[in-house]
Amino acid sequence: MRARRTAMKITASAFSLTLLLLSVALLASTMSVATVNASTTSQISIISDSELATQATARGWPGDGTPSNPYVISDIVIDNPPNGLGIFISGTSKHVVIENCTISSTSSYAIEVTGASNVTIRSSTMDGCFCAFFMYTSRNCTISDNTISSCQTGLLLISSCDIAIAGNTITDSLYNGMELCTSPGNTISGNTVGRSGDYGLYLSSSDGNTIFENTFIDNNGAGASYHTEHPQAFDQGVNAWTYEGQGNEWSDWSSESPYPHEGSAAAHDVLNTLDIGDVVPVILAIAVVVGAIVAAFVLIRRKRRDVEDLADQQTSPHEE
């Protein structure tokens, strides 16, 4: 019996060891595939739709540039490129997606998009760059779910519109985390911006932007509580800092009143840091109190009338 138990233990141990070896082999295989799929390059430069198509064919990028089948540039690794620029796209209107790329230590822009439209940059990592994303005179583009760290500026838009900036994490920028200049009609939502040397978001001569559900943490030297010398945002335009009741979160602001960001036009903004779900119970409570007061007032008036009527009835016989 003892020998049988010993044999069973040896069998179980051998089975566990086999599973462990298979797991290690599978992990090694996965790492090998990931390494093969990630290609290293010095720079990508595209200056027209025709060149985009040519490079897509030469480099094996899938897609045909249509909305349903965009060109996809993925798994590119660029580190300290000789000319300082990572990916440059200009003069294109075909749909192109840049995803799962890693760009670091650029002396210029990690990704620059100039005079282009329909460009999506997502799920990529930028570290130690002069500026992670720069868009100039571009429109209908998306910057989403990227991780940006230790750049001089996280992202910069100049004279660009209809840009969706969503779900990005931007930390430790030397200057501004996000900056918009003469760029109207963009949407900035769901981003986390922390520890920027200057503002988490800087808006200059940019109107009609919608900013909501962003989280700003310790930007511009902000501490645990708000200080007028360290606001986390600057707005020199007229913009909406809320959408459908959703405002923004600030590490130095716990009040339900609007966050006092800096800028000449800040007072004209529509801003709400209080969730609409918190507002509804307050409104209902006020309605109940007001209703109770009105009901009490009506009841008192009726009682007073009843007393006056009774008094009149009692005095009438004596007068006759």
CB 73 within 8 A of CB 96: yes
What was the pLDDT predicted at 311? 57
The residue with tokens 């900036």 is 165
From the list 104, 68, 65, 59, the residue with the least C-alpha distance to 86 is: 104
258 SS3 class? coil
Question: What's the rounded Cα separation, in Å, for the pair 235 and 287?
Answer: 36
The residue with tokens 């620059």 is 112
The CB-side HSE value for 186 (13 A sphere, CA atoms) comes to: 31
What was the pLDDT predicted at 112? 98
| Parallel, antiparallel or unpaired: strands 125-127 and 102-104 | parallel
In the chain, the amino acid numbered 144 is S
From the list 187, 171, 249, the residue with the least C-alpha distance to 215 is: 249
Domain range 36-275, CATH class? mainly beta
The residue with tokens 């009143």 is 257
What is the full DSSP assignment across 91-137? Answer: S--S-EEEES-EEE--SSEEEEEES-BSEEEES-EEES-SEEEEEES
3-state percent breakdown (helix, strand, coil) of the chain, nearest 5: 30, 30, 40
Question: What's the rounded Cα separation, in Å, for the pair 252 and 82?
Answer: 41
From the list 134, 155, 46, the residue with the least C-alpha distance to 90 is: 46
- What are the helix (H) ranges across the chain? 2-37, 49-59, 276-319
What residues have CB less than 8 Å from 132, skipping those under 6 apart? 103, 109, 110, 111, 126, 146, 148, 151, 153, 154, 155, 170
What was the pLDDT predicted at 260? 87
Please give the chain's pLDDT, 320 residues, in tens. 434 444 443 344 444 444 333 443 433 333 322 223 456 777 999 999 999 999 999 999 999 999 999 999 999 999 999 899 999 999 999 999 999 999 999 999 999 999 999 999 999 999 999 999 999 999 999 999 999 999 999 999 999 999 999 999 999 999 999 999 999 999 999 999 999 999 999 999 999 999 999 999 999 999 999 999 999 999 998 999 999 989 999 999 988 788 888 886 554 455 445 343 343 343 344 444 445 554 554 455 555 656 555 555 555 554 44
List, in sequence order, every residue forming a beta bridge with 178; answer none if it has no partner: 155, 201
